[in-house]
Amino acid sequence: MYRKNLALVAHDNRKIDLIEWVEYNKDRLIKHKLVCTGTTGRMVEKATGIDVTTLKSGPLGGDQQMGALIAEGKIDILIFFWDPMQPQPHDVDVKALLRISSLYNIPTACNRSTADFLISSPLFESSYIPAPQSFDEYLNRPL
């Protein structure tokens, strides 16, 4: 089995959904490294007992920290339960995080159904190198 680095982020109105999802999938997730933004990380640890690397809270720079980890190749999958019905004071950071996950071709789930599909994939338990996103990446890919 290949150990993945999973990023978990949730807006306030979706934190309970994410906690329930993590609890339901605890046996699969505990085999991997979890990285969370502040409050989400503390809630995941408290509810599940799973060790979590916790960044700053999203509005205090956690979303940007997570984006930096993605850009550095340190995140394999982003699970981001965001609330499309609530305006976020740090909406620019939220959009930047989603943009960076797309730019770096990171599998991203924005709801529970998609998260279930991601962790149910045979690729979840194995090594996976995303396809190049640009011509420069294509030329510099490992052979």
Q: Which pTM was predicted?
A: 0.87
Q: What is the reported pLDDT for 100?
A: 94
pLDDT tens-digit series, residues 68-78: 999 999 999 99
Domains of the chain and CATH, by start: 5-139 (3.40.50.1380)
The single-letter code of the amino acid at 97 is L
Q: What is the reported pLDDT for 85?
A: 67
Hey, what long-range contacts does 16-23 have (CB within 8 A, 24 or more apart)? 17/81, 17/112, 18/44, 18/79, 18/81, 19/43, 19/44, 19/47, 19/48, 21/79, 21/81, 21/112, 21/115, 21/116, 22/47, 22/48, 22/50, 23/47, 23/48
Residue numbers annotated as active site: 63
Residue 52 pLDDT more than 80? yes
Q: What is the reported pLDDT for 90?
A: 59
Q: What is the reported pLDDT for 43?
A: 94
For 66-95, what is the mean pLDDT?
Answer: 84
Residue 135 pLDDT more than 70? no
Alpha-helical runs (H) found in the chain: 15-24, 26-29, 38-48, 62-71, 91-103, 112-120, 135-139
Q: What is the reported pLDDT for 130?
A: 74
Beta bridge pairs of residue 8: 36, 79
137: pLDDT confidence band, cut at 50, 70 and 90? Answer: low
For 94-110, what is the mean pLDDT?
Answer: 92
